[in-house]
Amino acid sequence: MKPVLTCRDIKVDFDGFYALKGVNLNVFHEEVRFLIGPNGAGKTTLLDVICGKTRATNGQVIFEGSGQIDKMQEHKIASAGIARKFQAPSIFPKLTVFENLELSVKQKKSVWALLTAKLNSEVKAKIDYILEKINLQNERNREAGELAHGQKQWLEIGMQLIQEPNLLLLDEPIAGMSGVEREKTGYLIHDIAKECSVLVVEHDMDFVRNFSKQVTVMHEGAVLCEGSMAEVQENEQVVEVYLGRGKKVC
Amino acid sequence: MGKMTKNLFLMLVILTFMLAGCVGSNATNNESDTSDEKGEKGDTVKVGVLHSLSGTMAISEVSLKNAELMAIEEINEAGGVLGKKIEPVIEDGASDWPTFAEKAKKLLQSDEVATIFGGWTSASRKAMLPVVEQNNGLLWYPVQYEGMESSPNIFYTGATTNQQIVPAVSWLLENKGKKFFLIGSDYVFPRTANKIIKAQLKAEGGELLGEEYTPLGHTDYSTLISKIKAAKPDVIFNTLNGDSNVAFFKQLKDAGIGPKDMPVLSVSIAEEEIRGIGGDVLAGHYTAWNYYQTIDTPENKDFVEKYKAKYGEELVTDDPIEAAYFAVYLWAAAVEKAGSFDVDKVRAASDGIEVQAPGGKVKIEGSNQHTWKVVRIGEIQEDGLIKELWNSGEAVKPDPYLEGYDWAKGLSSGE
Amino acid sequence: MKGGAAMEIWASQLFNGLSYSSFLLLIALGLAITFGLMKVMNMAHGDMIMIGAYVTYSTQLIFSSFMPQNMFDYYFLFSIPIAFVVTACIGWILEKSLIQFLYNRPLDSMLATWGVSLILQQIARTIFGAPNVAVKTPSWLDGGLQIAAVTLPYKRLFILVLVGLCLTGLYVYLYRTAAGRRMTAVTLNRQMASCLGVNTRKVDAGAFALGSGLGGVAGCALTLLGPVGPTVGTNYIIDAFMIVILGGIGNLKGTLIGAVVIGLISTFVEFGSSATIAKVVVFALIILFLQWKPFGLISTRSRALD
Amino acid sequence: MKNISRSSYALLFIFLLCAPLFLHDFRVALLAKFLCFAILAVGICLIWGYTGILSLGHGVFFGLGAYCVAMYLKLEASPTGIPDFMGWSGIVELPGLWKPFANPYFAISAAVIVPVLLALVLGYFTFKNRIRGVYFSLISQALVVVFVTLFIGKQEITGGTNGLTNFSTAFGISLTNRGVQQVLYFITVGFLLLTVAFALWLTKSRAGKLLMAIREGENRVRFLGYNPTSFKVFVYCVSAALAGVAGGLFVLQVGMISPEMMGIIPSIEMVLWVAVGGRYSIFGAVIGAILTNSAKSFFSESYPDFWLFFLGGLFILVVLVMPNGLVGLGKSVGEKITSRIKKKEKEDVQHEAGPYVS
């Protein structure tokens, strides 16, 4: 099977400090891939490299249909079909929930297109559909800044979904959520995976165990191992990395 | 309901503000004036006093306003003009040229003043010129300027070029040397003045070693002084403006150049400006004006005394102050002669009007509405006053287009 | 023979350039702290310079009327610390009453401090009058040092030394004393410093006062070279900002280099053309340079998103 | 926007249209000048209030627009075909730069196109290089310094500090005629109306929402697949165009333009108008420009010394106490009143209907 995303020997050098030391990663169609690893392993940096926020010092990122994307500008990468949800909710607080989604809808994104854009029934239907999916139907006209933390997280996920991406990058999507909300988010992620590939960075091991099929473990800027959660837990190196730092996998 | 109230409230507040702002302070003026002559109402006649009372030019212009008000007061004490008391309407030009145009318009249209005394910079005069011409008003402009202008609605009581710059250059050529270096701020007066000087030097055997301009407000003169040092001129002719003079003279002195080595003749530094630079820095350098505080006549003694008593002992009088002061007297005399405040009649009557100003007799030249004045070259003293070294004896006829000088042909226009 | 004259001109221009740089550095140094380190767009910094200049003028008046004649020449040495203290106090009051509400709102702080600047100017005008005032140079600063055919005025040498002292003083304070280290810590990472028990409010006020005080010292030096009037600060504020952003925000070394670069370029361009052209060239170069290096000559790479 | 509904605009424009009936000619001319400023303020509101970019260099665009129209007027007022000030500088032939401006249509289009081109070039590079916040503000100030110094220094072409003044006619019609002045006033009102309508349409369009999104988080916008550079350049050009229009109308009304008016201080004052009115509201920008200038006119007529204290205080007040300006203030006061009325109504209803209502 051909991967959607291929990372080849990615290195990132922050003024002499190597945050990534040659990462290789493949993400396949309709896959939910979890990235785990201790703090400072380079998980977020890897997402940053994929979506163009951070430039790799070395290596290639290849995206299906667009070829090599690591030299492209951020908005071009996003247009190519890679959506990114940041760790801290980054939404537009002074716009309403509806407007946040309206801007995120998959559409032509030039100045002229937006000047002449009409709010037709098709767009409305899309937004309604997503609102329902992220459970914010009743908040559509509220300013996004007034939402609860968990709701902001969902709104941001919704903003990514409505772009109809081929690959969704989620950075700690359940941070700050209650138990019920976590579960809902877990199902939402699986639901999403029917339409696109998802790459999730997550710290919460229960969550990972419950919702993951494939897991990639990173440590100190490199991939340590890959496999199912069960396999990974057996891996001695992984145990050492976590236990050696005084942390347990479970 | 709620939204309506909100909007109504907002609009109410806004409209009140707007009315207050637009109607402004002249709400008290009856704008539909029935009297047929300008500015006259009962026992008083209104005149406008329009100077920058705020902003960068306030430094110079406030004292002109004071001088004009003093003259108005004196005339009122002596019985007024045509039996009417003069009522000054004071406006602030705020060192902003459109504001000068705006206020001149207000004075003429809304206050309907008989005349305006005002302005300092050429730019402010140029801004007021179309306004007074279009409204057939009258403006008395009291500061030396670059010439090349003669509006039927303006009287010029400051020197034009042939009453200050041209004689100064001749005097320098005769007494101080042939090699000139010209420096000035980068604006209209210095550039026009230097153009005239260059033509004159050519005609009278002088030599031009350099010509430099610095932006307004420039304060680092080390490079310019290096250039002057390298050129080694006999004299420096200075048309720098305002603040730049302070920096230039201080740094010139530091560079070890004194009046003995290279004297500087300035045409924009009078007694007022010396106070802000320091007499110690300027002592020994020259100026060219039509009036100095030190002029020894009874009229001047009286004038200086009254001015100091009224506005402060530490103050000084200088050329523009005197010109602003006697402008009011010239206008009053012209009105008396015309027997009317009407602009056209005053203009017709103005030719040859003469008054005894603090610095000597001054006379209006009807052909160009400038003033006959005595030219004086002076040396700046340690105490900040100016000692007269030379004067032209008789008053010099104003010649704003330099028509009486052969070498100036072709200067005044492209033709 | 001719080569000697050319050398002479080059040498004196180099000195002029360095001297102008030192003056620029002095006016920018305070701003490098308030704007560079604290990120406050302090448009009133020019008026701290103005106040410093008026303090010098007042000290001169006091010395000439109350002190023995032979002491007069030393008024200038006294005026420097006085100007520092007075403007630092004004800066402190300003921080406590206004600036502290404006951290993280750089554009708003720009507008508010512009308002402060207008008010300070009007106050100065009310107290000292609108015209410029004359400050008499102490006699020991008259004249200059003659090296071959080049004259180095004592005043300019004095300013060079003064800048050197300010710079070393600042360096020692910021990196070698506990109070200074606290200040650097706060500007680098406010939350972390606060967690470690640093009273950030106090440090902010102190830093702002220090920056303003340096403006006051610049004002003192200004009286040696230029005019003293209520609006004098506006002449310098734009230059000072340009130096700080050219050098890179948050970096004293950058400010130093920025001042030297601008000083040298403008004097040499002026020598080859005119002062007007030099001004246009310098500002156009700044615009172009920032296109190339948006964060100035020396910038630190940051990982923050916004 | 939601709260400042049509009635406010209707009242404002009815007031403006009726103003010549009850104001002295001189005051109408003054008001016309303020309306030009209002057009410019709308442009600043779009770029600053909506997009969050603070430009301290709008004086340049205003000045360029004004100079373009002024060049035409000056040529029409010069019987010899060469403006008087050029004669004094010894120029005998009209410079090439001036020649096309003899054509009024060229001059008027240039009043918009020249500022837009400058904004396009500067904006493209600056925004592409991701220069933001105070860096952009300072660059825009440097731009002002460059232009003002050039316009003063190139006296033989620009008229130097004196600027361009003393115009007589436009299209052969005398500008000083009372009727013409009135027509000009109504033309200005018309332009303001168009400007406001355009700005409202823009802010309500999806592009307008994206501008706000850029203000809220430029990088987020980028990761949604938009290129913020093009939107920022667009809004910069729009506001430059509005400033150019304002400048052109200003010259027709006031009859002069000089480099002082495009300087640093006027450029900062322009931002203040918008801040006073309410930076997030088009309506606020309009009334802010009119009111601040009215106040300036009033104070400088009555208390010139007091004006700077007032202006300075206003800056501080707006930033500290009322960041949403007069509109925000009016809104919150209005809300208090309405909430009191509502409360009262509610109480009344409750009294009548008893506890079963809710």
Q: Mind listing the pLDDT tens digit for each residue in B259-315?
A: 999 999 999 999 988 988 888 899 999 999 999 999 999 999 999 999 999 999 989
The verdict on residue A82 lying in a domain is: yes
The domain of A11 spans 3-243
Check residue C299 and give left, alpha or beta (phi > 0: left; psi -120 to 50: alpha).
Answer: beta
CB D165, CB D66: distance < 8 Å = no
Distances (CA, A) of A244 to A149, A227, A241, B208: 34, 21, 5, 86
Residue closest to C47 by CA, chosen among C102, C119, C101, C105:
C119
Mean pLDDT for B152-181 is 95
User: Strand B264-266 to strand B235-239: parallel, antiparallel, or no bridges (unpaired)?
Assistant: parallel
| B87 membership: H or E segment, kind and range | strand B85-92
pLDDT of residue B23: 47
Tokens of B64: 């002109």
Burial A32-53 (b: 16+ CB within 10 A, else e): bbbbbbbeebbbbbbbbbbbbb
Mean pLDDT for C256-278 is 92
Mean pLDDT for A54-77 is 90
Range with the poorest average pLDDT among A181-185, B36-40, D130-134, D170-174: B36-40
Residue C226 sits at the chain B interface (C-beta within 8 Å): yes
d(CA B297, CA B356): 11
Contact list, C292 vs chain D (CB under 8 Å): 129
pLDDT in tens, chain D (358 residues): 444 567 888 889 988 988 888 888 888 888 999 999 999 999 999 999 999 999 999 999 999 999 999 999 999 988 888 888 887 777 788 888 999 999 999 999 999 999 999 999 999 999 999 888 888 999 999 999 999 999 988 888 898 888 898 888 888 888 877 888 889 999 999 999 999 999 999 999 999 999 999 999 898 999 999 999 999 999 999 999 999 999 999 999 888 899 988 999 899 999 989 998 998 999 999 999 999 999 888 877 677 677 788 888 988 998 888 888 888 888 888 777 777 777 766 665 555 443 333 3
What does chain D come to in residues? 358
d(CA C220, CA C76): 8
D113 three-state secondary structure: helix
- Averaged pLDDT of chain A: 87
Q: Which residue in D25, D258, D308 is closest to B109 by CB distance?
A: D25
Q: Which residue in A84, A103, A117 is closest to D213 by CB distance?
A: A103
Mean pLDDT for C2-30 is 86
Residue closest to A160 by CA, chosen among A67, A109, A89:
A89
Contact list, B272 vs chain C (CB under 8 Å): 131
Neighboring chains of D (3 or more beta-carbon pairs < 8 A) = A, B, C
pLDDT of residue A247: 47
Neighboring chains of C (3 or more beta-carbon pairs < 8 A) = A, B, D
Mean pLDDT for C6-28 is 89
Go through the domains of chain C in sequence order and give each one's CATH number: 16-292 (1.10.3470)
CB B384, CB B316: distance < 8 Å = yes
Contact list, B254 vs chain C (CB under 8 Å): 142-144, 153-156
pLDDT of residue B211: 94
Tokens of A48: 């940053």
Would the CB atoms of D231 and A111 count as touching at under 8 Å?
yes
Residue C235 sits at the chain B interface (C-beta within 8 Å): yes
pLDDT of residue D358: 32
pLDDT of residue B33: 40
Would the CB atoms of D217 and A102 count as touching at under 8 Å?
no
Residue B366 pLDDT grade (very low, low, confident, very high; cuts 50, 70, 90): very high
User: Strand B44-51 to strand B116-118: parallel, antiparallel, or no bridges (unpaired)?
Assistant: parallel
Mean pLDDT for C197-205 is 86
For the cut 80, the answer to whether the pLDDT of residue A245 exceeds it is no
- Our CA-based measurement puts residue A221 at a distance from the nearest CA of chain C, in whole angstroms, of 17
Task: Select the highest-mean-pLDDT range: A161-175, C138-152, D46-60, D131-145.
Answer: D46-60
What tens digit of pLDDT does each residue of B326-339 get? 999 999 999 999 99
Residue B10 pLDDT grade (very low, low, confident, very high; cuts 50, 70, 90): low
Go through the domains of chain B in sequence order and give each one's CATH number: 40-159+297-372 (3.40.50.2300), 162-294+375-408 (3.40.50.2300)
Contact list, C303 vs chain A (CB under 8 Å): 14
Q: How many Cβ atoms are within 10 Å of B334's Cβ, its own excluded?
A: 24
Mean pLDDT for B41-60 is 84
A with B: touching (≥3 Cβ pairs within 8 Å): no
Q: Which residue in B247, B254, B255 is closest to C227 by CB distance?
A: B247
pLDDT of residue C136: 86
Would the CB atoms of C301 and A15 count as touching at under 8 Å?
yes
Would the CB atoms of D223 and A78 count as touching at under 8 Å?
yes
Neighboring chains of B (3 or more beta-carbon pairs < 8 A) = C, D
pLDDT of residue A244: 60
Would the CB atoms of B276 and C229 count as touching at under 8 Å?
yes
- Our CA-based measurement puts residue A75 at a distance from the nearest CA of chain D, in whole angstroms, of 4
What does chain A come to in residues? 250
- Our CA-based measurement puts residue D56 at a distance from the nearest CA of chain A, in whole angstroms, of 24
Distances (CA, A) of D140 to C266, C284, D51, D134, D264: 20, 11, 16, 10, 10
Residue B343 pLDDT grade (very low, low, confident, very high; cuts 50, 70, 90): very high
For the cut 60, the answer to whether the pLDDT of residue C304 exceeds it is no
Tokens of B14: 């806004």
Question: CA-nearest residue of chain C to D144?
Answer: C283
Kindly write down the DSSP assignment for every residue of C156-206, as one continuous string: HHHHHHHHHHHHHHHHHHHHHSHHHHHHHHHHH-HHHHHHTT--HHHHHHH
- Bridge partners (DSSP) listed for residue A21: A11
d(CA B399, CA D253): 34
- Averaged pLDDT of chain C: 87
Asked if the ipTM is above 0.90, the reply is no
Instruction: Return the higher-pLDDT residue of C107 and A73.
Output: A73
The verdict on residue A248 lying in a domain is: no
Instruction: Give, as one character, the DSSP assignment of residue B316.
Output: -
d(CA C14, CA C9): 8
B207 three-state secondary structure: strand
- Our CA-based measurement puts residue A209 at a distance from the nearest CA of chain C, in whole angstroms, of 30
d(CA B235, CA A182): 87
Instruction: Return the higher-pLDDT residue of B206 and D172.
Output: B206
- Bridge partners (DSSP) listed for residue B185: B214
In A105-178, alpha helices (H)? 111-116, 121-133, 149-161
Domain ranges of chain D: 27-262
d(CA B60, CA B274): 12
Residue B11 pLDDT grade (very low, low, confident, very high; cuts 50, 70, 90): low
User: Strand A214-219 to strand A197-201: parallel, antiparallel, or no bridges (unpaired)?
Assistant: unpaired
d(CA B131, CA B157): 19
Tokens of D62: 């205003």
Would the CB atoms of D217 and A90 count as touching at under 8 Å?
yes
Neighboring chains of A (3 or more beta-carbon pairs < 8 A) = C, D
Distances (CA, A) of B375 to B180, B292, B391, D171: 21, 11, 5, 46
Would the CB atoms of C294 and D129 count as touching at under 8 Å?
yes
Tokens of B112: 């309907």
Residue C132 pLDDT grade (very low, low, confident, very high; cuts 50, 70, 90): confident
Mean pLDDT for B32-52 is 72
CB C282, CB C246: distance < 8 Å = no
- Work out how many domains chain A is built from and give that number: 1
Question: CA-nearest residue of chain B to D296?
Answer: B21
| B154 membership: H or E segment, kind and range | strand B154-156
Contact list, B218 vs chain C (CB under 8 Å): 275, 279
CB A66, CB A82: distance < 8 Å = no
Tokens of D339: 């909430």
B265 three-state secondary structure: strand
Would the CB atoms of B186 and C276 count as touching at under 8 Å?
yes
- Our CA-based measurement puts residue C211 at a distance from the nearest CA of chain D, in whole angstroms, of 19
Residue A108 sits at the chain D interface (C-beta within 8 Å): no
CB C206, CB D109: distance < 8 Å = no
d(CA B145, CA B188): 10
| B117 membership: H or E segment, kind and range | strand B116-118
Q: How many Cβ atoms are within 10 Å of A68's Cβ, its own excluded?
A: 12
| A84 membership: H or E segment, kind and range | strand A82-85
A34 three-state secondary structure: strand
Contact list, C305 vs chain D (CB under 8 Å): 219
**Best residue in D276, D281, D297 for a mutation probing chain B (most B CBs within 10 Å):** D297
pLDDT of residue C106: 80
Residue closest to A228 by CA, chosen among A244, A249, A247, A213:
A213
Burial of C247 (0-12, 13-18, 19+ CB in 10 A): buried
State the SS3 of A204-250: CHHHHHHHCCEEEEEECCEEEEEECHHHHHHCHHHHHHHHHCCCCCC
Instruction: Give, as one character, the DSSP assignment of residue B339.
Output: T
State the SS3 of A159-200: HHHCCCCCEEEEECCCCCCCHHHHHHHHHHHHHHCCCCEEEE
Contact list, D3 vs chain A (CB under 8 Å): none
Question: CA-nearest residue of chain B to C57?
Answer: B276
Contact list, B109 vs chain D (CB under 8 Å): 24-26
Contact list, D212 vs chain A (CB under 8 Å): 92, 94-95
In chain C, alpha helices (H)? 2-31, 45-66, 75-97, 106-128, 154-176, 178-188, 190-195, 200-225, 232-247, 252-272, 275-292
Q: How many Cβ atoms are within 10 Å of B248's Cβ, its own excluded?
A: 28
For the cut 70, the answer to whether the pLDDT of residue B17 exceeds it is no
Cβ-proximal residues to B30 (8 Å cutoff; 6+ apart), any chain: none
Mean pLDDT for B2-18 is 55
- Our CA-based measurement puts residue D115 at a distance from the nearest CA of chain B, in whole angstroms, of 22
Residue C70 pLDDT grade (very low, low, confident, very high; cuts 50, 70, 90): confident
